[in-house]
Homo-oligomer: A and B are copies of this chain.
Amino acid sequence: MQFDTAKLNQLSSRYRAHLINSLSGFKSANLIGTVDKQGQLNLSIVSSVVHLGANPPLIGMIMRPNSVPRHTFENITNTQVFTVNHVSGEFYQAGHQTSARYDKSQSEFEQVGLTPEWKENFNAPFVAQSKLKYGVRLVEVIHLNVNDTEMVIGEIVLLDVNDKVIQQDGYIDIEALNTVAVSGLDSYHSTSRLARLSYAKTNRLPSEIKLTTSNEEVGQ
C-alpha cells in the first residue's frame, strides 16, 4: 500500500500519529529522572534518546513542549541535569504509566511504584530498578523550528552498569539486562540477538563476534 503526501494529510490525527511513529523502526525505552528547584521529583518515559557521539560522550533527545514530558523539560533547563534509565521487561508497564498526565505536585516514582535512587554529587534521581543508568549534564537545547520541538543535547557524566554484561571490547550486552525496545507509541518488545557482526571491510563478508555474557551472572 502506498501513501503519498495527499493521502497522509487525509488521515485522522490519531491514526497518523500511530502510523508515523511506527516508521522510524525500533526505538529506545528510557525513563528520564529530574527534580525541580523545590525538590519535587519527576519521571517520564521517552523513546527519542539517540546516540550523538562517543567522544565526548553525548546523547540527544527530542521533546515536545506541550506533551507529558513538559515538566521534565522545565526541570532540565532549570537544574541542568537529568538521568537516563533503561526500561527493562520487569517494569515496562510502570514505565509506560509515567506517561499519564500527573500533576506537577505528584511524583511519578510514587504513582507508578518505582524507587528513586541518589548518587553522590548528582542532582537528579535515578531509577533503582533500572540496570543501566547514567547521569547527563545539559550541554545545549536546539529549538527545531520545523515543528516547534526541542532537541536536548547532554553529556554523559556518570554511568552505572553491571560490569558482568560489558564485553571485552566495551560493548554492553543490553539484551542480557532485559532492556526493552519500543515501536510506535505504545508497543514494547524484548529482543533475541541474531548476531554481533565484525567491522565491515570491502574485501570480505562480516563474521560473527561471540559474546561472553552468562545469563546466570546477571541474575536473569
Could you tell me which A residues sit within 8 Å of B by CB distance?
1-5, 8, 11, 13-30, 47-60, 62, 64, 84, 86, 89, 92-93, 96-102, 111, 132, 134, 139-140, 142, 144, 146-147, 149, 151, 153, 156-163, 166-167, 169-172, 174-175, 179-202, 205-206, 209
CA–CA, A3 and B185, complex, Å: 32
> How many copies of this kind of chain does the complex include?
2
A17 and B49 contact, CB distance less than 8 A: no
Nearest B-chain residue to A154, judged by Cβ: B146
A183: contacting residue among B84, B101, B174, CB under 8 A: B174
Chain B residues with Cβ below 8 Å from A157 are 4-5
Nearest B-chain residue to A165, judged by Cβ: B22
Contact A8-B159, Cβ < 8 Å, known A28-B27, A55-B13: yes
Contact A174-B22, Cβ < 8 Å, known A1-B161, A188-B195, A200-B96: yes
Contact A101-B202, Cβ < 8 Å, known A2-B159, A187-B196, A189-B194: yes
Closest CB in chain B relative to A81 CB, distance in Å: 13
A29 and B19 contact, CB distance less than 8 A: no
Closest CB in chain B relative to A28 CB, distance in Å: 3
A51: contacting residue among B13, B48, B57, CB under 8 A: B48
CA–CA, A134 and B170, complex, Å: 34
Nearest B-chain residue to A199, judged by Cβ: B186
A51 and B24 contact, CB distance less than 8 A: yes
- 8 interchain residue pairs of minimum CB distance: A25-B28, A18-B170, A22-B172, A15-B170, A1-B163, A26-B181, A189-B191, A100-B200
